[in-house]
Amino acid sequence: MSEAELRRIWLCADDYGLSPAVSAAIRDLIARRRINATSVMVSAPSFSPSEAAVLGAAAERHAAIGLHVTLTAPFRPLTAGFAPTRDGAFLPLSAMAGRALAHWLRFEDLEIEIARQFLAFRAAFGRAPDFVDGHQHIHVFPQIREALLRVIGDAAPQAWLRQCGRSAAARKSLADPKGFVLDALSARLARLAAGASVRTNPAFAGTYSFAAGADFSALFPGFLDGLPDGGVVMCHPGKVDDELRRLDPLTDLREREYAYFLDDDYPQLLAARGYALA
């Protein structure tokens, strides 16, 4: 297959800034050119300007750096007076998503907090993000997506927004119920983004159960099924440290993903399937 015939995709590591060990693993994969995008949690306690500087040096011009909008526990708002909170932190995903679906969130609070996270990104990196997505996919929910689109228009009009709907040609299994939920919510998000002249990716892949016994090396080839040029594959590579254990239940699986992307079978699979990193 010629270079011109390859489908170019984004392999995006979520959660940069979550912990020092997670960030170091993501930078390593970027420096090795095994992934070509990461989204940054500017509200994570361990994120700092120095973490931004070393990421920028690793990414140079061959990887995109995005904003991972964070509105769920255990993380805390960057703005005073944000509501609802619990013990000073955002609500858990189920509670935040439920309120969004019921339209019980205060739009002004959402807009101010999201804008503050964009400002924190710009302060750390000296520029706007290349793209935007959301921690635990919170950005695809009602009210939140509308607030985010308004902020993008002001703060990063050139950025693209990650929609989380799969390709029509992708294999879809009832073993991945999250995928069907994201398909439905992202269809509306993509329409709203088009109306706001905000670019989105044509398709998305990478969801799985995160069960303790999940075999990422067996799952990854399926993420490529039907993925078009410009598609996004989400991943969560990392190393485990005390900060990660304190903040997130997804621990050992991150090390399995990291090991998979270091293995030579991974680039060989991309080449065999006609894919290259964008």
* pLDDT tens digits for range 148-158: 999 999 999 99
* pLDDT tens digits for range 234-276: 999 999 999 999 999 999 999 999 999 999 999 999 999 999 9
Distance, CA of 154 to CA of 254 (rounded, Å): 34
Contact 278/9 with Cβ under 8 angstroms? yes
Q: What is the pLDDT of residue 174?
A: 67
The residue with greater pLDDT, 230 or 175, is 230
In degrees and rounded to multiples of 5, residue 104 shows phi and psi of -100, 0
* pLDDT tens digits for range 157-204: 999 999 999 988 777 776 677 878 999 999 999 999 999 999 999 999
What fold characterizes domain 3-277?
A: TIM Barrel (3.20.20)
Give 161's contacts (C-beta < 8 A, 6+ positions apart): 131, 132, 133, 139, 148, 149, 152, 189, 193, 198, 199, 200
Q: Parse the chain into domains and list their residue ranges.
A: 3-277
* pLDDT tens digits for range 58-101: 999 899 999 999 999 999 999 999 999 999 999 999 999 999 99
**What are the C-alpha distances in Å from 145 to residues 10, 167, 212, 267?**
22, 21, 31, 34
Distance, CA of 113 to CA of 118 (rounded, Å): 9
The Cα angle at residue 130 between residues 42 and 245, in degrees rounded to 5:
35
End-to-end CA distance of the chain: 16
Specify the pTM.
0.96
4 pLDDT more than 70: no
* pLDDT tens digits for range 22-60: 999 999 999 999 999 999 999 999 999 999 999 999 999
